[in-house]
Chains A and B, each alone.
Chain A
């Protein structure tokens, strides 16, 4: 029902043909033919003064990458094979850290499970939530700008203040959420104090700030051509069919981007658990001991930097594999404009 109104609004909203609808493929094909010739000639000739200037211009970034990113990363890779403790030890111990991680450390598995749980629920839910809100906010009704601002606001308000706000909202007896639930006769859970409910509480909190993703979807929705919906109408498509066969496919590039970035970000969840639990110890029943929190405790509480580095590299591998899988799998469902082979 809601979709129908959305689409009708769109139909009446005559928009200029979006740029993205232009026959991009042709441009690409042209480019594919013409650029490489010139590029081949110029490739890897540092003596060419134009190239040199180019490198000089990017040198701040290049130096940053080499010394501030790649350097420390390689260092941590080496450290993961040592018993480095920052101040006095750095002996090569082979795969000991990794062995300890997989065989001796129960908390490693707890933290991995907690993190997977969080990723598994928060990524699809926040993505679906953002799409849903974006579709709603794409209607033409008076005051829409105000709604858009309101929904985007949580994405601007971030950080520690928000966590404290949510700790109060989620308070079992006096919190707003349980108070509202009580109006409907539901006795709300203890949220952050009940091991069963701590992770759902955090996921709920994440859902509140889907505004960032929502904005991307909204921008994309505004660019979907009415021609497509008109054609669908002529074929007698209903609102759901139009959403399923037009709106959603048009959104897939953004969904794809959103899933990749939010998967990576979700695996790295740390602040929330560190701030919202006492002493950053992982919360009730260790239910908020996320991978990065465990790693942080190892690195900066007991200075077992070698072990923490091996954890970091394991996480890196997980994220890498998932991202590569996502990229490969994306060919099956991500729709790019103008292409007939997706």
Chain B
């Protein structure tokens, strides 16, 4: 009797376990009670500033629709893409996801995203910046629609310029000028730097970016073609290493440690006088900089006649492979790329957006510093290059970066470091 009871009890428990695992299947049809198709839209925009903006855009779209309802899901930045890959493998991904602009081809190649050319007319590209469009193409098809982008510019502290006897209206145009200005802007007291004029790899323009700037905008790869150990890149790396040598490892490390955690920005706290960052860094100055008197300029050119090559990143909208409602998802993606949605995003978040008309029309609405910065950001786009990771060497950076660091810190010479980097990267090919 007792045993029978035990057995029955355990079996009941097991059954309930199994049942509860199977019960989560009510939304299989993917339609809500009004008969609208429900689209799951995943972004990492959960901050106070971004979330309301994307949700307003979603809301506008939903109001304009009687067939589709978009549901926005926030997934933290650190998880979103890993989760997406797992979801694709498991066959239940989101319908629309925001993803990295520089790796679109990888996902296309690995069967992680849908070919959008089956759902969206290619004419959409005429409304978007062409260099952004290049990033979403793979084997004559396109696998994403660009949403936002960013471009690197030079911010400089005009008060510091005056203090150092420099003309605050004449930002550096070449590397040479940048170095001259920086030396004058250094403030040293009792052998300790109180302010460093400039240091090339701080901000968002790393050694690799300077090397591309020197090499006619060429990244370490153009397609699958390698451009790591080129004469201009060697020279650029020498230049970057020169700064490290001049300022001294200790000083560089000490400064870096102070702002490494990201709580304070050394440009805003006036510890560094010239700073490279994406244009929307301006919002940080605006919000925390106490009326800082700053100027903005393109990234200096390698030589007098050179162009102000800089690097771009950004995000695209994709449909993960195996999404349940690709057609409806595509309709929503088209809306996200439209002038209306893009303009609203640009206005509120100050990002460079992919839609040309939206970008130009938002510029007209801005005034003062906002206008100044946004104008520079738009002008910058013509010199902005994207360096998508090559298909054959997705993690080439893991081999190049240690060598760059070795050269900069004097553990290796630029020539040897780049030679080794090239050899190491070649070994990665599968």
Using a CB–CB distance below 8 Å, which chain A residues touch chain B?
49-50, 52-53, 56-57, 59-60, 83, 85-89, 104-107, 164, 167-168, 171-175, 190-195, 278, 281-282, 284-286, 297-298, 300-304
- Given the interface pairs A53-B7, A59-B14, A190-B250, the reply to whether A302 lies near B394 with Cβ below 8 Å is yes
Check B85 against A86 for contact (C-beta < 8 Å): yes
Check A56 against B398 for contact (C-beta < 8 Å): no
Q: Which residue of A lies closest to B256 (CB)?
A: A193
- Given the interface pairs A85-B110, A87-B112, A285-B411, the reply to whether A190 lies near B253 with Cβ below 8 Å is yes
Interface size class of B (residues with CB under 8 A): 35 or more
* B residues near A88, Cβ cutoff 8 Å: 110-112
Is B254 an interface residue, CB under 8 A from the partner?
Answer: yes
Check B405 against A173 for contact (C-beta < 8 Å): no
Using a CB–CB distance below 8 Å, which chain B residues touch chain A?
3, 6-7, 10-11, 14, 17, 82, 85-86, 88-89, 110-112, 249-250, 253-254, 256-258, 260-261, 321, 394-395, 398-399, 401-402, 405-406, 409, 411, 424, 427-428, 430
- Can you show 28 pairs from A to B with CB atoms below 8 A apart? A52-B7, A53-B10, A59-B10, A83-B430, A85-B110, A86-B89, A86-B110, A87-B88, A87-B89, A87-B111, A88-B111, A89-B110, A106-B399, A168-B261, A171-B258, A172-B250, A172-B253, A172-B254, A172-B257, A191-B257, A192-B257, A193-B256, A194-B253, A281-B401, A285-B402, A297-B395, A301-B394, A304-B394
How distant is A285 from chain B, measured CB to nearest CB, in Å? 6
Check B85 against A106 for contact (C-beta < 8 Å): no
User: How many angstroms from the CA of A284 to the CA of B406 in the assembled complex?
Assistant: 9
User: How many angstroms from the CA of A281 to the CA of B398 in the assembled complex?
Assistant: 8
* B residues near A193, Cβ cutoff 8 Å: 253-254, 256-257, 260
Q: Which residue of B lies closest to A104 (CB)?
A: B427
* A residues near B398, Cβ cutoff 8 Å: 107, 281, 297
- Given the interface pairs A53-B7, A297-B398, the reply to whether A285 lies near B405 with Cβ below 8 Å is yes
* A residues near B256, Cβ cutoff 8 Å: 193
- With A49-B3, A192-B257, A194-B253 known, 13 other A-B pairs at CB within 8 A are A53-B3, A56-B10, A59-B10, A83-B430, A86-B85, A87-B85, A87-B321, A172-B257, A190-B250, A190-B253, A285-B409, A298-B395, A303-B85
Check A190 against B424 for contact (C-beta < 8 Å): no
Interface of B is mostly: helix
Check B85 against A167 for contact (C-beta < 8 Å): no
- Given the interface pairs A87-B85, A172-B254, the reply to whether A285 lies near B406 with Cβ below 8 Å is yes
How distant is B104 from chain A, measured CB to nearest CB, in Å? 15
Q: Which residue of B lies closest to A195 (CB)?
A: B409
* A residues near B427, Cβ cutoff 8 Å: 104-105
A-B contact count (CB 8 A): 97
- Given the interface pairs A88-B111, A172-B254, A194-B253, the reply to whether A284 lies near B89 with Cβ below 8 Å is no
* A residues near B6, Cβ cutoff 8 Å: 53
Closest 5 CB pairs of A and B: A88-B111, A193-B253, A190-B253, A302-B394, A104-B427
How distant is B397 from chain A, measured CB to nearest CB, in Å? 8
- Given the interface pairs A89-B110, A285-B409, the reply to whether A106 lies near B258 with Cβ below 8 Å is no
- Given the interface pairs A87-B85, A190-B253, A193-B257, the reply to whether A284 lies near B111 with Cβ below 8 Å is no
How distant is B393 from chain A, measured CB to nearest CB, in Å? 9
* A residues near B411, Cβ cutoff 8 Å: 285
- Given the interface pairs A56-B7, A107-B399, A302-B395, the reply to whether A167 lies near B405 with Cβ below 8 Å is no
* A residues near B260, Cβ cutoff 8 Å: 167, 192-193, 278
Q: Which residue of A lies closest to B112 (CB)?
A: A87
User: How many angstroms from the CA of A164 to the CA of B260 in the assembled complex?
Assistant: 11
User: How many angstroms from the CA of A190 to the CA of B249 in the assembled complex?
Assistant: 9
User: How many angstroms from the CA of A290 to the CA of B6 in the assembled complex?
Assistant: 50
* B residues near A300, Cβ cutoff 8 Å: 82
How distant is A325 from chain B, measured CB to nearest CB, in Å? 33
Most chain A CB inside 10 Å of its own CB: which residue of B11, B254, B409, B411: B254
Q: Which residue of B lies closest to A294 (CB)?
A: B398
* B residues near A174, Cβ cutoff 8 Å: 258
* B residues near A173, Cβ cutoff 8 Å: 254, 257-258
Check B395 against A87 for contact (C-beta < 8 Å): no
Q: Which of A49, A57, A107, A167 contacts B261 (CB 8 A)?
A: A167
User: How many angstroms from the CA of A174 to the CA of B261 in the assembled complex?
Assistant: 13
* B residues near A60, Cβ cutoff 8 Å: 17
User: How many angstroms from the CA of A102 to the CA of B36 in the assembled complex?
Assistant: 55
Check A190 against B3 for contact (C-beta < 8 Å): no
Check B261 against A106 for contact (C-beta < 8 Å): no
How distant is A204 from chain B, measured CB to nearest CB, in Å? 16
* B residues near A284, Cβ cutoff 8 Å: 405
* B residues near A49, Cβ cutoff 8 Å: 3, 7
* A residues near B82, Cβ cutoff 8 Å: 300
How distant is A73 from chain B, measured CB to nearest CB, in Å? 18
Q: Which residue of A lies closest to B396 (CB)?
A: A302
User: How many angstroms from the CA of A314 to the CA of B349 in the assembled complex?
Assistant: 47
* B residues near A171, Cβ cutoff 8 Å: 257-258
User: How many angstroms from the CA of A56 to the CA of B260 in the assembled complex?
Assistant: 54
How distant is B230 from chain A, measured CB to nearest CB, in Å? 22
User: How many angstroms from the CA of A282 to the CA of B82 in the assembled complex?
Assistant: 19
